[in-house]
Amino acid sequence: MKINCLSCGHIIVLDDAYSDYEGSVKCYTCSALLEIKLSEGLVKSVKFLELTRIAAAEI
């Protein structure tokens, strides 16, 4: 299961535990918060919840 981060385009890899999942995941690259809905291993929706300050603020 892979989804694209809507903020930075990075591919977020989710393991099989997420094949039926509804909730938020955090992009570990840019720290954006995405709300995802997965059903039977398919991505039903990906919404952008929150953008947090990325690299620039952390370096």
Binding to Zn ion by residue 38, rule CB under 5 A? no
Which range, of 14-22, 32-40, 41-49, touches Zn ion by CB under 5 A? 32-40
Which is closer to Zn ion, CB of 6 or CB of 37? 6
Binding to Zn ion by residue 36, rule CB under 5 A? no
Query: How many CB atoms lie under 10 A from the CB of residue 3?
Result: 18
Beta bridge partners of 7: none
CB of 40 to Zn ion, least distance (A): 25
Q: Are 48 and 34 in contact (CB under 8 A)?
A: yes
